Amino acid sequence: MSSYHTQALIGADIFTVMGSIYAEVGRYDSAVQSGQSEQALQAAERAQEIINFAQSLRHINKAQKLEIKMFDNVFKQVIKKQQKSKLDDYLLPFAVAARKNQ
């Protein structure tokens, strides 16, 4: 991931961080559905980079970091199985809240 993407998350709230993860998970799901394994892997790697970066953000509290970590564990299981995540219902509210907060 370029520093452009991580720089955009400096100062971001939990909704924006999770919304960014949602974007990459959506790309992952689309690639898996289309049989594009390389694109799926790249999207999963970008999601992982955002997850890791979020753990370094001081303004994201401990409970929020735990939420992100728990999501990470679930998403890693999905990636291992190379299947669609089915995590839209979980992630979409974060993206909607982030949009409303803009």
pLDDT of 6-21, one tens digit each?
777 888 889 999 999 9
Domain chopping of the chain, boundaries: 3-100
Considering the entire predicted model, what is its pTM? 0.88
60 Cα distance to chain centroid: 15
Per-residue pLDDT of the chain (102 residues; tens, 9 = 90+): 456 667 778 888 899 999 999 999 999 999 999 999 999 999 999 999 999 999 999 989 999 999 999 999 999 999 999 899 999 889 998 889 888 877
Give the pLDDT score at 1.
47
Question: Which amino acid, 3?
Answer: S
From CA 97, how far away is CA 78, in angstroms rounded?
25
pLDDT for res 46: 92
What's the pLDDT at 2? Answer: 52
Tokens of 79: 């990636």
Q: What token pair was written down for 20?
A: 């960014």
- The span from the CA of 47 to the CA of 53, in Å, is 10
80: CB partners within 8 A, 6+ apart: none
The CB density around residue 52, as the number of other CB atoms within 10 Å, is 13
